[in-house]
Chain A
Amino acid sequence: MASEHRAADYAWDVGEIDTDEMILNMGPQHPATHGVLRIELRTDGEVVKAARPHIGYLHRCFEKHAENVDYPGVIPYTDRMDYVASMGNSLGYALAVEKLMGIEVSPYVQIIRVIVAELQRIASHCVAVGTYGMDIGAFTPFLHLLRDREKILDLFEWTCGARLLYNYNWVGGVSHDLPEGFPRACRDFLREFDAITFPELMELLIGNKIFVKRTANIGVCPVPLAVSFDLTGPNLRGSGVPRDLRKDAPYCGYQNYDFAVCLGKGDYGPTGSCFDRNLVRAREMAESSKILHQAVEALEKTEKTDVHEKVPKRVKPAAGEIYFRTEAPRGQLGYYIVADGTGVNPYRVKVKSPCFTAMSVFHILARGMMIADIIALIGSLDIVLGEIDR
Chain B
Amino acid sequence: MEFTYGLLTGLIPGLAGAPSWVLVALGGLIPAFITFNFVGLGPIIYVYAERKISAFMQDRLGPMRVGPYGLLQTIADAIKLLFKEAIFPAGVDKLLFLVAPIIVVTGSFLPFVVIPWGARLQAVDLNVGVFYVSAVSSLATVGLIMAGWASDNKYALFGAMRSAAQIVSYEIPSVMALLTVVMMAGSLSLQDIVRGQAGGLQNWYLFRYFPLMPIAFLTFFTAGLAECNRTPFDIPEAESELVAGFHTEYSGFFFAMFFLAEYTEMFVISSVASVLFLGGFHAPHPSLQAIGALGLGWFWLLLKAWFLIFVMMWLRWTLPRLRVDQLMHVAWKVLLPISFVLVVVVGGLVLKWPAGFPWDRWVGWPITLVLMGFLIVGMIRAISWSRRRTEELLA
Contacts and interface: CB of A to CB of B under 8 A. Distances in A.
Direct A–B touching, Cβ under 8 Å: yes
Interface of A: 24, 26, 31-32, 46, 133-140, 143-144, 147, 188, 192, 204-205, 208, 210-211, 213-214, 370-375
B85 interface: no
B59 interface: yes
A372 B320 contact: no
Given A137-B234, A214-B320, 5 more contacts: A26-B242, A137-B238, A214-B322, A214-B326, A372-B324
B239 A31 contact: yes
Contact of B242 (A140, A144, A371): A371
A122 B179 CA distance: 52
6 contacts: A137-B231, A137-B238, A137-B319, A144-B58, A210-B232, A374-B242
B201 interface: no
A137 B234 CA distance: 9
A232 B59 CA distance: 35
Contact of A210 (B239, B317, B321, B389): B321
Contact of B319 (A46, A188, A210): A210
A210 B320 contact: yes
A137 B321 contact: yes
Interface of B: 54, 57-60, 231-232, 234-235, 238-242, 317-326, 389, 392
Contacts, number: 73
A380 to B, nearest CB: 14
A283 B232 CA distance: 26
Contacts of B323: 214, 370, 372-373
A125 B395 CA distance: 30
A143 B320 contact: no
A32 to B, nearest CB: 4
B273 to A, nearest CB: 22
A147 B57 CA distance: 12
B241 A139 contact: no
A210 B242 contact: no
Contact of A133 (B60, B231, B235, B320): B320
Contacts of A31: 239-240
A376 B234 CA distance: 16
A227 B80 CA distance: 54
Contacts of B238: 137
A137 B320 contact: yes
Given A136-B321, A370-B323, A375 B59 contact: no
Nearest to A196: B385
A214 B60 CA distance: 28
